[in-house]
């Protein structure tokens, strides 16, 4: 399977038309159709559902959708590799790719990047947001250089830098909510309340253990993977969101407030990367500065 043909396939998926894709690629329609047909024969799977005679629109089969996702990852990795090789001289110029969940610990990353900026203005940062499973999948595929995750990393697979800050679990609620009068929230306070929890916790994570109740015993009205979206639900009175502190502004004129859990629940943060990882020069400089920043901020 050639990279060139993968690019052809993605053009068809994007345009939803062989004719329009051929025009964008400056190819004839028969040539493009033949290339895709040969790829389907090579894989032994139909990738496209061609429209009827009166319709030029094409749609992807299930196998086509799988190939589209993998082709995008493959071509992104090729582009990243080419840039690293081209820029592998003494000039520190290039990109650093980071995956992270929503956490106030990103301030440490921002501080390290800011300290590097004056000496190495040619370093650019690309941050992808997602949960720990997303971050580890991107690391394993080589799509990012570093990941920031909650809790303990698997040191058999990853190197890790423990960050000095910890994220504190609590409840985000409206300031006029009955529970806002309490300085901290206990499990019993939430047993009969409408709850909004992260999708990562909805399968029965550490918070469910803290609650001393199973998922089926709780009144979960919504789940989220971006806390900003959850904050809108809270603001409209849908329920109480169990979340980390300092991600959503709950001070000043905000209609929201945050109360920590009791007993206290906090999570350590780590920056991780693959064992035996060979870094580009920008990634090396960033790692050096992160180590220095983590050390000085912990003092």
Start-to-end Cα distance in the chain:
53
Residue 48 predicted with pLDDT over 60 = yes
- Calculate the average pLDDT of the chain: 88
pLDDT of residue 75: 87
- pTM equals 0.66
pLDDT of residue 17: 87
pLDDT band at 50 (very low <50, low <70, confident <90, very high): confident
How much is the average pLDDT of 72-79?
86
pLDDT band at 298 (very low <50, low <70, confident <90, very high): low
Residue 209 predicted with pLDDT over 90 = no
Residue 90 predicted with pLDDT over 70 = no
CA neighbor of 271 nearest in space, from 103, 53, 122, 62: 103
pLDDT-wise least confident of 52-61, 83-92, 150-159, 274-283: 83-92
Residue 29 predicted with pLDDT over 80 = yes
How much is the average pLDDT of 192-216?
83
Residue 208 predicted with pLDDT over 90 = no
Residue 85 predicted with pLDDT over 70 = yes
What is the C-alpha separation between 233 and 250, in angstroms, rounded?
14
pLDDT of residue 287: 96
pLDDT band at 15 (very low <50, low <70, confident <90, very high): confident
Residue 83 predicted with pLDDT over 70 = yes
Look-up of token digits 């992807």: 60
pLDDT of residue 58: 87
pLDDT of residue 195: 96
């Amino acid at each position: 399977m050639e990279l060139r043909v993968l690019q052809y396939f993605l053009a068809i998926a994007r345009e939803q038309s062989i004719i329009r894709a051929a025009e964008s690629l400056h190819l004839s329609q028969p040539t493009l159709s033949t290339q895709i047909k040969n790829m389907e024969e090579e894989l032994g799977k139909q990738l496209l559902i061609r429209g009827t005679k009166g319709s030029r629109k094409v749609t992807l089969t299930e196998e086509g959708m799988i190939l589209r996702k993998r082709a995008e990852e493959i071509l992104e990795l090729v582009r990243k590799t080419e840039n690293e090789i081209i820029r592998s001289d003494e000039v520190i110029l290039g990109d650093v790719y980071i995956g992270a969940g929503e956490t106030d610990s990103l301030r440490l990353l921002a501080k390290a990047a800011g300290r590097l900026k004056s000496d190495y203005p040619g370093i650019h940062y690309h941050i992808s947001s997602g949960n720990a499973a997303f971050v580890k999948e991107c690391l394993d595929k080589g799509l990012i250089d570093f990941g920031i995750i909650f809790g303990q990393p698997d040191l058999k697979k990853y190197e890790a830098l423990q960050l000095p800050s910890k994220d504190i679990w609590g409840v985000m609620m409206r300031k006029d909510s009955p529970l806002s009068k309490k300085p901290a929230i206990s499990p019993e306070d939430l047993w009969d309340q409408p709850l909004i929890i992260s999708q990562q916790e909805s399968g029965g994570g550490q918070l469910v253990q803290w609650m001393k109740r199973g998922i089926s015993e709780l009144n979960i009205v919504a789940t989220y993977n971006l806390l900003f979206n959850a904050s809108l639900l809270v603001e409209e009175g849908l329920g109480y969101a169990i979340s980390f502190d300092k991600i959503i502004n709950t001070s000043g004129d905000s209609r929201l407030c945050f109360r920590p859990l009791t007993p206290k629940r906090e999570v350590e943060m780590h920056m991780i990367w693959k064992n035996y990882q060979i870094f580009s020069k920008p990634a090396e400089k960033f790692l050096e500065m992160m180590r220095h920043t983590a050390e000085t901020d912990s003092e």
